Amino acid sequence: MALPQLKADATTARLDGLSLPDGAAWATEARQAALARVTSAGLPHRRDEYWKYTDPASLVQPDAPKASLFHNDEGPLFANRDRVQIVFVDGVFSAEKSSDLAAEGLEIGLLADALATDIHWAKDLYGVLETNGQTPVERPLAALNTAFASAGAVIRVTGKATKPVNLIYLHENTTSDAMIHNVVKVEAGAEMTLLETGPAAARFSKCLEVDVAEGGTFHHVRAQGRDHERRAVTHCFARIAKEATFKSFTLTANGVLTRNECIIDIIGDDAVAHVAGACVGDGSDFHHDDTVFITHDAVNCESRQVFKKVLRNGATGVFQGKILVKEGAQKTDGYQISQSLLLDEDSQFLAKPELEIYADDVACSHGSTSGAIDEDALFYLRSRGVPHKQATDLLTLAFLAEALEEIEDEDLAEDLRARLDNWLARRG
Amino acid sequence: MTMNAIDQVQVKEGVDQDTVDAVTQLSGTYKHGWETEIEMEYAPKGVNPDIVRLISSKNNEPAWMTDWRLQAFARWEKLEEPTWAMVNYPDIDFQDIYYYARPKSMEEKPKSLDDVDPKLLETYKKLGIPLKEQAILAGVEGAEMPEEGRKVAVDAVFDSVSVGTTFQKELEKAGVIFCSISEAIEKHPELVKKYLGTVVPPSDNFYATLNSAVFSDGSFVYIPPNTRCPMELSTYFRINAENTGQFERTLIIADKGSYVSYLEGCTAPKRDTAQLHAAVVEIIVEEDAEVKYSTVQNWYPGDEDGNGGIYNFVTKRADCRGDRSKVMWTQVETGSAVTWKYPSCILRGDDSQGEFYSIAIANNHQQADTGTKMVHLGKNTKSRIVSKGISAGVAQNTYRGLVSMHPKAKDSRNYTQCDSLLIGDKCGAHTVPYIEVKNNSSRVEHEATTSKVDDDQLFYCRSRGMDEEEAVALVVNGFCKEVLQALPMEFAMEAQALVAISLEGSVG
């Protein structure tokens, strides 16, 4: 079907200023195929079903809207951890700021190098998982990223990694428009923790493709935020094999527009996939969207989605989650919860928690709630002499706790809790 | 996810003997698949402005009504058929359908029920809907009459026309108007003009727009202020003619402080080709008024291989205009090859309430995409949604719903629970809720579960000597309890029986 004119025009306008980066033959082929996906689907528009609650216009327009920098005295996250640091400034790799990329159990390289190499393991993943994730719902912004991104990290996990890898995205230029594409291959029985931090750019498009082989474990902890005016669209495409584990947690504080999509394909029996998120938003221009799509295509697998949002001063939170259980994916245990705490009259929460189930021996449930702080709980705390602000903060943190509990590493969780405390203190 | 504790208790104590009896009494599959042989008169196939004018003239409508229809038709021509529902069916050729079919004997409107063609009376008698004015239990075959007698007024619609309405005189005494919509357009144009299309505007959606252009008949209800309707009102829809679409329109107006309970039933003969049914129901609920609308939808679902059946594309909406108004939708959806139906509540008045209780059962090749919309506009409005979807065979069952809390709907509440039960590994159950909360004093809760028939519960029933089908029917009835309890007594019985019928053959 031909694209509606508006959509075709917007797509052409966006593509006009871009050109495919150079690379090895296979990389060029993958990029051209991705470009074809963009032109056939067209870039998203508010009228698309999966953009009903989030206006993609500023993600699609040719130039990135300006985003001023926000300075506070918070130091970098996870600073006390021994970790491999890979730093990108406004989407460009900085060797100078990065640490040594060698680490036990890990083979770390840069995307640009991998895509310029004729024979590289990344060939089997780059754009491949993204392509798989295009059905049944098209994700043209991810394809755009595959076509044009030239920065990013490629990580092969060959054993139990002793230190986490921290991708640090610094934002220094107020009009930067960055695209980063990371590829992670966790081999059978291997294990790693990936950390992602930083506001990245004025407009940031990030794609992460993760393949977790049999018995492998992938932990992912991400913190987005700081600069209030930044915009980001991120995609995580994961493929989970037999007895593998995938756990991802995202904390979002600030940012005028954030759309995090997580698309997980569980293809091996007895695998586990957890996706969680906590978001604190302030101001009528704050808009945060979690879009999750988990497909169960194997027996006896477990998936969990836990998303909590605290919104105030007219902030908007969106949750679109789906559990798809394919025919034959028996003994599936699927759980999904999305909750929002609206701290004032003007904030809003829009949710579409979906189930699509084609197997009968499954237990799938989802819940979604929205409301203000529980007056009874507040009264209880007040009657025990806790000041109003402190009581509200306590209840807010308690509300977010269920999502933060999804982080296995208690030290990492503690760092993020400190961020939340700061956010609450700062916003008085 | 296993059944909740209450259901378990009921099953285990075996207290539900009535249900078991109702289930065992039933045999055979679709019971209403026979056809009435009667001479019919058709408008030419297809739809165009001339057909619209013809339908309008057959009903002796005034010019404003004809214009209203023509405007709707002009709009419909520009609309595209919606494709967002999770249903698949072959393209409908809208020009290959008869839009108007009436029994020849209805050419002259019968003056009273005594003048109605005996064949038609026989048809409804066979369906368990005697049109004689006597105390009856609507829709329950072989049910015993309570001693004091319970009156239900019936408007019977056969293909495109209303055959007759019972108890009109008695209702008149109470000031209640209950007649066919064609009669209402003739006799109460001021009411029809004031309310028609104000809840479901002619531009609302593809099928509602088509209905606005070509609706042939339907029921009209007006309950005057501070009146409790003295009996339950009921409409029974029967599609009989082949290749005919039924487009009925129902308009219910509950004026200030009034109350009415309205029942709707429907059946159709077995045919190899699919038939279209596109109805519109509009309900206006004024201050302090209450309307209960119950449906047992038992259109022909098609055969085991998915041939034939009714395509049921229905727009139902209630507008709670006045403060403290209340509407309650209860539906048992067992029939139809394809169901596309979202009875909605617009909670405009402060403190108004909307409730939606639904059981949708899909077996064989049936596809149901059904749910509700609760639009909270007024302060302190409340809504409750309980939806139970059951899939068997290769059927697909989708709950699709919207709960919207507008910024001004302070202190409002919604509770949604939608559970799905799967019987067999080839069917599907889906949930697509939309939740939009735009103020913080409102609370919205949504819960959904999907499970299969619990083995322990089945084993328990089997060990008490029930056969497998009986046991499944009992467990399913337990699962449906919450909804069945919301139905008026007569319907609850029939619905329980239907729950069993639709699942027969699904256990193998």
Task: Return the pLDDT at B504.
Answer: 62
- B219 lies in the same domain as B318: yes
Is A39 an interface residue toward B (CB < 8 Å)?
Answer: no
Q: Does A353 touch chain B (CB under 8 A)?
A: yes
Kindly indicate the confidence band of residue B118, based on its pLDDT and cuts at 50, 70 and 90. confident
Q: Per the CB < 8 Å rule, is B422 touching A352?
A: no
Question: Looking at the partner chain, which of A358, A360, A368 has a beta carbon nearest the beta carbon of B446?
Answer: A368
Tell me phi and psi for residue B352, to 5 degrees. -80, 160
For residue B391, the chain A residue with the least C-alpha distance is A360
Q: What is the mean pLDDT of residues B304-325?
A: 93
User: In the predicted model, what is the mean pLDDT of residues B244-267?
Assistant: 92
The answer on pLDDT for B1 being more than 60 is no
Is A349 in contact with B423 (Cβ distance < 8 A)? Answer: no
The average pLDDT across B353-372 equals 92
Q: Are residues B394 and B439 in the same domain?
A: yes
Task: Say if A370 is an interface residue toward chain B (CB within 8 Å).
Answer: yes
Is residue B486 pLDDT above 90, yes or no?
no
Q: Into how many domains does chain B fold?
A: 3
Cα nearest neighbour of B422 on chain A: A360
Q: Do B435 and A350 touch (CB under 8 A)?
A: yes
CA A185 – CA A178 distance, rounded (Å): 23
Looking at CA atoms only, how far is residue A99 from chain B in angstroms?
46
In a domain, B358, yes or no: no
The rounded distance, in Å, linking the Cα atoms of A227 and A170 is 11
Q: Which chain A residues contact residue B441 at CB under 8 A?
A: 345, 372
How many Å apart are CA A337 and CA B287, to the nearest integer? 38
- A357 vs B428: CB contact, 8 Å cut-off? yes
Do B288 and B157 have their domain in common?
yes
Position B272 scores a pLDDT of 83
Which carries the bigger pLDDT value, residue B420 or residue A191? Answer: A191
The partner residue sitting opposite A360, judged by closest CB among B424, B430, B446, is B424
> Which residues of chain B lie closer than 8 angstroms to A362, CB-CB?
422, 450-452
pLDDT > 60? residue B25: no
What is the mean predicted confidence (pLDDT) over A109-118?
97
A344 in contact with B at a CB cutoff of 8 Å? yes
In a shared domain, residues B254 and B174:
yes
Provide the percentage of residues in chain A whose pLDDT is more than 90: 88
Please give the pLDDT value at position B450: 76
Nearest CA-CA distance, residue B429 and chain A, Å: 5
Q: Residue A108: its pLDDT value, please?
A: 97
What distance in Å separates residue A275's CA from the closest CA in chain B?
19
Q: Residue B395: is its pLDDT beyond 70?
A: yes
Asked if B428 lies within 8 A of A49 by C-beta distance, the reply is no
Chain mean pLDDT for chain B = 84
In a domain, B144, yes or no: no
pLDDT of A308: 97
Within 8 A of B376 by CB-CB distance, chain A residues are: none
pLDDT of residue B136: 44
- Token digits for A11? 């797509």
**Do residues B505 and B481 share a domain?**
yes
pLDDT for residue A61 is more than 90: yes
Q: Cβ–Cβ of B447/A330 closer than 8 Å?
A: no
Of B430, B432, B435, the CB nearest to A368: B435
Domain-located, residue B2: yes
By C-alpha distance, the chain A residue nearest B423 is: A360
Mutual orientation of helices B63-78 and B49-58 as an angle, nearest 10°?
150
In a domain, B252, yes or no: yes
* Chain B residues within an 8 Å CB radius of A354: 430-433
| pLDDT score of B73 | 96
pLDDT of B347 > 60? The answer is yes
CB contact under 8 A, B436 and A350: yes
Query: Is the separation of the CB atoms in A282 and A315 below 8 Å?
Result: yes
Position B143 in a domain: no
Query: What secondary structure, in 3-state letters, does chain A show?
Result: CCCCHHHHHHHHHHHHCCCCCCCCHHHHHHHHHHHHHHHHHCCCCCCCHHHCCCCCHHHHCCCCCCCCCCCCCCCCCCCCCCCEEEEEECCEECCCCCCCCCECCEEEEEHHHHHHCCCCHHHHCCCHHHHHCCCCCCCHHHHHHHHHCCECEEEEECCECCCCEEEEEECCCCCCEEEEEEEEEECCCCEEEEEEECCCCCEEEEEEEEEECCCCEEEEEEEEECCCCCEEEEEEEEEECCCCEEEEEEEEECCCEEEEEEEEEECCCCCEEEEEEEEEEECCCCEEEEEEEEEECCCCCEEEEEEEEEEECCCEEEEEEEEEECCCCCCCEEEEEEEEEECCCCCEEEEEEEEEECCCCCEEEEEEEEECCCHHHHHHHHHCCCCHHHHHHHHHHHHHHHHHCCCCCHHHHHHHHHHHHHHHHHCC
Query: Does a structural domain hold residue B466?
Result: yes
Confidence at residue A25, expressed as pLDDT on a 0 to 100 scale:
97
Q: Which residues of A touch B506 (CB under 8 A)?
A: none
Q: Is A330 on the interface with B (CB under 8 A)?
A: yes
Report the residue of A368, A392, A395 to disrupt the B interface, i.e. the one with the largest count of B CBs within 10 Å: A368
Beta bridge partners of B344: B317, B373
Within a domain: B319: yes
Q: What per-residue confidence (pLDDT) applies to B265?
A: 85
Distance CA A316, CA A47 (A): 18
Q: Do B314 and B443 have their domain in common? A: no
* pTM assigned to the model: 0.87
Q: Choose the final residue of a domain: B341, B374, B408.
A: B341
> Considering B429, B452, B475, which residue would you say is the last residue of a domain?
B452
Contact A336, A305 (CB under 8 A): yes
What's the pLDDT at A37? 97
Chain B residues at the A interface, defined by Cβ less than 8 Å, are 1, 84, 86, 407, 410, 420, 422-452
* Residue B331 and residue B467 in one domain: no
The minimal CB distance from B429 to the residues A352, A357, A367 is found for A357
Residue B497: predicted pLDDT: 72
B96 assigned to some structural domain? yes
pLDDT higher than threshold 80 for residue B427: yes
Model pLDDT, residue B137? 39
Q: Is the pLDDT of residue B227 over 80?
A: yes
pLDDT at A144: 98
Predicted confidence at residue A60, as pLDDT, reads 96
Q: Which of B1, B474, B433 has its CA nearest to residue A363?
A: B1
The pLDDT of residue B12 is: 24
Give the total residue count for chain B.
Answer: 508
Q: How far is B409 from chain A (nearest CA, A)?
A: 11
> What confidence tier does B29 reach under pLDDT thresholds 50, 70, 90?
low
pLDDT of residue B24: 32
Same domain? For B257 and B378 the reply is: no
Please check whether residues B115 and B125 belong to one and the same domain.
yes
pLDDT exceeds cutoff 80 at A333: yes
Confidence of residue B17 (pLDDT cuts 50, 70, 90): very low
Of A345-354, B5-14, B25-34, B450-459, where does mean pLDDT reach its minimum? B5-14
Residues B314, B328, single domain; the answer is yes
Give me the pLDDT at residue B150, please. 60
Mean pLDDT taken over chain A = 94
Same domain, B254 and B324: yes
Residue B438 to chain A, least CA–CA distance (Å): 4
* Residue contact B452–A361, C-beta within 8 A: yes
Average pLDDT rounded to a whole number, residues A48-75: 91
> Would you call A342 an interface residue with chain B, using a CB distance cutoff of 8 Å?
yes
Interface A-B: count of C-beta contacts within 8 A = 121
| Residue in chain B lying closest to A359 (CA) | B425
Best B437, B446, B449, B475 residue to mutate vs chain A (most A CBs within 10 Å): B437
Verify that B418 and B396 share a domain, yes or no: yes
Phi, psi of B227 (to 5 degrees): -120, 135
CB within 8 Å: B448 and A353: yes
Model pLDDT for residues A199-230, shown as the tens digit of each residue? 999 999 999 999 999 999 999 999 998 788 99
Q: Give per-residue pLDDT as tens, A1-19.
A: 578 898 999 999 999 989 9
Q: Which structural domain, as residue segments, surrounds residue B382?
A: 365-452
